[in-house]
A and B are shown apart, each in its own frame.
Chain A
Amino acid sequence: MSTLEQKPASSEGRKDPWSQLLQKVGKNQDRAAYHALFEHFAPQLKYYAMANGMASHAEELVQEVFVSIWRRSCLYDWRKAAASTWIFTIARNQRIDMLRKMQRTSAEMPVETEDLWQIPGDNEDEPVTSLHRLMSERRIRESLSHLPEEQITVIAKVYMENKSHQMVANELDIPLGTVKSRVRLALNKLKVILQDQNV
Chain B
Amino acid sequence: MTRHHPDSLSLMEYSAGNLSEPHALCIRLHLDECPHCRSRVDTLDSLGAVMMEQQPKVTVSESMFDSILSMIDNEPAGAANAAPAPRLSPLQKLLGDDINKLPWKRQMGDVSVLDITDRFPGQSEQVVLQKLAAGGKAPAHTHRGEETTIVLQGAFADQKGVFNQWDFVVLDDKDEHKPVAVGCEDCITLSVLSAPVKLTGTFTRMLNPFIR
Contact = CB atoms under 8 A, between A and B. Distances in A.
Interface in B10-43: 11-18, 21, 24-25, 28, 31, 35-36, 38-43
B59 interface: yes
B17 A162 contact: yes
A22 interface: no
A137 B54 CA distance: 13
Contact of A159 (B16, B39, B56, B67): B16
Contacts of A193: 8
A115 B90 contact: yes
Contacts, number: 210
Q: Which 6 interchain pairs have the tightest Cβ spacing?
A: A43-B57, A115-B90, A88-B49, A74-B81, A84-B49, A46-B58
20 contacts: A43-B57, A59-B60, A82-B49, A84-B46, A84-B49, A88-B45, A88-B49, A92-B16, A111-B90, A112-B93, A122-B84, A136-B46, A144-B50, A160-B55, A184-B9, A192-B43, A195-B36, A196-B8, A197-B5, A198-B7
Interface of A: 1, 3-4, 26, 29, 31, 35, 38, 42-48, 50-51, 58-59, 62-63, 66-67, 70-71, 73-75, 81-82, 84-85, 87-89, 91-93, 95-96, 103-104, 108-112, 115-118, 120, 122-124, 126, 129, 132-133, 136-137, 140-141, 144, 155-156, 158-160, 162-165, 180, 183-184, 187, 190-199
